[in-house]
Structure 1
Amino acid sequence: MAKLGIAAIQVDAEATDNVDLIERETRAVTRRFPWVDLVVFGELAAYGASPKHAEPEGGAFERRMAALARETGTYLIPGSFYQEREGRIFNVSPVFDPQGEIIARHDKFFPFLPYEKDVACGQDYCVFEIPGIGRLGLAICYDMWFPEAMRTLAAMGAEVIVLPTMTNTVDRDVELAIARANAATNQCFFIDVNCAGALGNGRSAYFGPGGEPIYESGEGRDVVALRLDLKQVRDAREEGWQGLGQVMKSFRDTPLRYPLHENAEARAKAMSDLGPLAVPQSDAGAEGAPETEAKIFKVHQEQ
């Protein structure tokens, strides 16, 4: 049986520099649970939500995380951080192996527009192998709101989808429903790791291949160590969860086409009446209006 030992760490983070905290938490959890194969943190856990902290590829943060993975002998996804490449900034989540090598990187597909401004969209799907255990897919936060992207990871063989998240807004409850639906519709484990403290409102959540809840964190610091039996995924895809729908096989076998998914121009034309992607404005006018979510996010970015 292939079992993945995963430690999801919902850090009680500060608004800016949490790299020392990531190192301490990783060392502590790997000492306590030597069976852990993979340690995961939330989105932007290292430096917070400001692109001004962007580093170059192979910069200080990635070097420190490479050393940490070697020291602890684990696979490590240290959340995400802003990285500058060829004059553009990406929200990036790297994957380190126990030798400290980067074996995969995911650039966030869908920056949280219109709030996460000036961040480029990723283009490549991130699926990687842990030898002897199985195949994992990696996405970041808002990516999960787009079922086409999650389905693609599953179709590429991902048995576990890992989602570093940084949510501090009122839609966290909705996100939990989406995470659960992604687990059920893709017949996989879905691991949604949020931040706590100054960066997030917690409630990290973990679902099995039938959408069954495994665990949900509270709003503060939490260290969740789980052993996921990937045979459950293989059985669900082969026989259906509880002997019911074999969803992935039906998706594979249908002759149905998805023309708006395949053609970006056709999609833009069909949905043109939605209007521009812009920050909503107060109906009361600018002067004396309540602080909008856009302003709140801007404060986080400038810290």
Structure 2
Amino acid sequence: MTPFAIAGVQMHVSALHSNVEAMRHRIEILMARFPWTQMVVFSELAPYGPLDQFAQPFPNDALAQFQDDARRFGIWLIPGSMFEKRPDGRIFNTSVVINPQGEIVKKYAKMFPFKPYEQGIASGTDFCVFDVPEVGRLGLSICYDIWFPETTRQLTSQGVEVLLHPVLTGTTDRDAEIAIARATAAQFQCYVFDVNGLGAGGVGRSLVVDPTATVLHQSAGQEDMFPIEIDLDNVRRQRETGLNGLGQVLKSFRDREADFPIYDRASGADAYLHTLGPLETPKQGSKAGVGVRDPRTVLAEDSRSRADHVTIPAFKGRTGTG
């Protein structure tokens, strides 16, 4: 058995003032109640809330305080994320990984800001993978990133066994996100720690899922601290013998016959995607997407033209599928 104790903290997040001291207070309470905890994970944008007007330069005083806490309690610490304002004026949604010595060992910028609602937030391009000595390999993604399985594919193909996933979800798609977290654990045979906030930080319902897609813990809609001791040998066993002795999905992907031209942007395989219109916030009374287009027309046109020159007529037939 390779045990490791990770605690998620689901807490109320304010949008209009700093939550840093409240986070530090909860670390103290957590470590007093559960001193066996080895890593603490907060929700997305927990320190300063969801408004990019409070973007901070890196490094900053809050990070220095979190580094002190990690050193004082001898824990790994992921203090959610915060909007980072870089010298060139761009703003990123950035998280850090702090080790028990108080060192920032990794910095990660969210790859998929929740556009069109997070317009003006730049996208990161570097993946976050780090090793906990004598334990295993962990990876970090933030909120909307998990909706794109390519992000977790990249991480787990590099050996990540635990996906740390701070989120800020206060919207009606939380059920979908919970389903995606469970599916991610099954698809990639890894633990998923999906930590949401409350108030301006989300609707809660954080969860921890094991590599068989079994939910080990799910919070409700109140504040919660949930230390869970995981077993990294469970990941290794599932990946070697299959999910409950069944699907060996990572090895099947490794041994695949197929390539995926969709990932070659010059291939034209994504012609249909170019018919979907701009990435923008819906307006009152919008009928975007109501005039159904037939994907078969896209394929026919794409055989004669590059994707960015395809003209797709409105489909005049039935509006149903099939």
TM-score by length of 1: 0.91
AA aligned opposite 1:252: R
The structural deviation recorded for 1:59 is: 1.3
Q: Looking at CA atoms only, which structure, 1 or 2, has the larger radius of gyration?
A: 2
Aligned twin of 1:166: 168
SS of the residue aligned with 2:113? Answer: coil
Aligned to 1:239: 241
- Give the whole-Å Cα distance in 1 for the aligned partners of 2:267 and 2:62: 38
Residue of structure 1 equivalent to 2:132: 130
1:295 maps to which residue? none
Q: Whole-Å Cα distance in 1 between the matches of residues 242 and 140 of structure 2?
A: 24
Q: C-alpha distance in 2, partners of 1:214/1:167? A: 20
Could you tell me how far apart the structure 2 residues matched to 1:121 and 1:27 are?
33
| 1:148-191 deviation digits (Å, cap 9, x = unpaired) | 11111111111000100001001101110000000000000011
Task: Using the TM superposition, give the Cα deviation of residue 96 of structure 1 relative to its aligned residue in structure 2, in angstroms.
Answer: 0.2
Residue of structure 1 in register with 2:55 after alignment = 54
User: Once the 2 structures are TM-superposed, how far is the Cα of residue 220 of structure 1 from its aligned partner?
Assistant: 1.2
Report SS of the residue matched to 2:250.
Answer: helix
Task: Provide the residue aligned with 1:111 in structure 2.
Answer: 113
Task: Name the structure 2 match of 1:277.
Answer: 279
Which residue is equivalent to 1:229? 231
Aligned residue in 2 for 1:15: 15
SS at match of 2:170: coil
Equivalent residue, structure 1, for 2:304: none
Task: Report the Cα offset of residue 42 of structure 1.
Answer: 0.2
2:48 counterpart of 1:27: no
What is residue 186 of structure 1 aligned with on the other side?
Answer: 188
Does structure 2 conserve the Cα–Cα contact (< 8 Å) formed by 1:197 and 1:220?
Answer: no
Tell me the residue number matched to 1:289.
none
Deviations 1:255-282 (A, max 9, x none): 3111212437746645110110000011
Q: Alpha carbon RMSD of aligned pairs, Å? A: 1.6
2:150 alignment partner in structure 1: 148
Quote the residue 2:300 is aligned against.
Answer: none
Q: Is the deviation greater in 74-83 or in 49-58? A: 49-58
Paired residues in the alignment total 285
TM-score (norm 2): 0.85
Q: Whole-Å Cα distance in 2 between the matches of residues 66 and 192 of structure 1?
A: 22
Measured in 1, the distance between the counterparts of 2:60 and 2:263 equals 36
Note the residue ranges of structure 1 that are not aligned, 5 or more in a row. Answer: 286-303
Distance across 1 between alignment mates of 2:259 and 2:270: 18
The alpha-carbon deviation at position 15 of structure 1 amounts to 2.1
Structure 2, unaligned stretches of length 5 or more? 288-322
Report deviation, 1:101: 0.6
User: Could you say which residue in structure 1 is the equivalent of 2:45?
Assistant: 44
Query: How far apart are the structure 2 equivalents of 1:137 and 1:198?
Result: 26
Return the letter of the residue paired with 1:46: P
Amino acid in the other structure paired with 2:179: A
- Alignment identity in percent? 44
Counterpart amino acid of 1:163? H
Select the residue among 95, 111, 129 that pairs with 1:93: 95
Aligned-pair CA distance for 1:62: 1.4
* 1:130 aligned partner, one-letter code: V
Match status 1:4 vs 2:4: yes
Cα distance in 1, alignment partners of residues 267 and 60 from structure 2? 37
Taking structure 1 as reference, are residues 87 and 15 closer, same or farther at Cα in structure 2, changes over 3 Å only? closer
What are the within-5 Å matches in structure 2 for residues 189-208 of structure 1?
A: 189-208=191-210
CA gap 1:284/1:139 in 2 versus in 1, 3 angstroms: closer
Alpha-carbon displacement from aligned partner over 1:119-150 (angstroms, at most 9, x marks no partner): 10010110111101111110000000001111
Matching of residues 57-76 of structure 1 within 5 Å? 57-76=58-77
Q: Which amino acid aligns with 1:31?
A: A
Q: 1:201 to 1:264 in 2, by over 3 A?
A: farther
SS at match of 2:131: strand
More displaced 10-residue stretch of structure 1: 268-277 or 230-239: 268-277
SS of equivalent residue, structure 2 residue 144: helix
Do the aligned partners of residues 4 and 264 (structure 1) sit closer, same or farther apart at CA in structure 2, a change above 3 Å counting? farther
